[in-house]
Amino acid sequence: MISKQIRGYGKDLTIACDGRCDKAWGINGRPRLYFMESAETPRALKEDEEPRDEDDQVYIGDNELGTAPGPGETVGMSEGGHLKPSATPLTNGEHMNKWCFRECERGETFEAGETIVIRDLTKPRPNIPRKS
């Protein structure tokens, strides 16, 4: 895990992620499946099909995707003039930038004192929690 102290929303925050820029597509570009007919089984949309509920989705897991687009090639290409910082994994949080804060689906933002727990995109959870 890597992290960086930033100022956002008028507060001192920490952004943290697993550093896997090679698997970071951006929140607007990462392939996803939608819950359509069944609340249990998500699926890809058919050509020209609109989701039943745009929010009722789950990202496709890292192991099912190839390498993500590089800097300047993602759907949310630039945030505040900052591109995705790398096409390869990062090991230094100081390289994180506004794209990471605003667009990266791998990143999480934490206030002072919060426990830092980042999402596991090898096993993504649905956007709308399901009963177990």
4-55 pLDDT, tens digit each: 999 999 999 999 999 999 999 999 899 999 999 877 889 999 999 999 999 9
**Which pLDDT score, from 0 to 100, does residue 128 have?**
87
Burial state string for 24-57 with b = 16 or more CB within 10 A and e = fewer than 16:
bbbbebbebbbbbeeeeebeeeeeeeeeeeeebb
Entry pTM: 0.86
101-131 pLDDT, tens digit each: 999 999 999 998 899 999 999 999 998 887 6
**Which pLDDT score, from 0 to 100, does residue 132 have?**
55
Q: How confident is the model at residue 96 (pLDDT cuts 50, 70, 90)?
A: very high
Question: What whole-number distance in Å separates Cα of residue 14 and Cα of residue 67?
Answer: 26
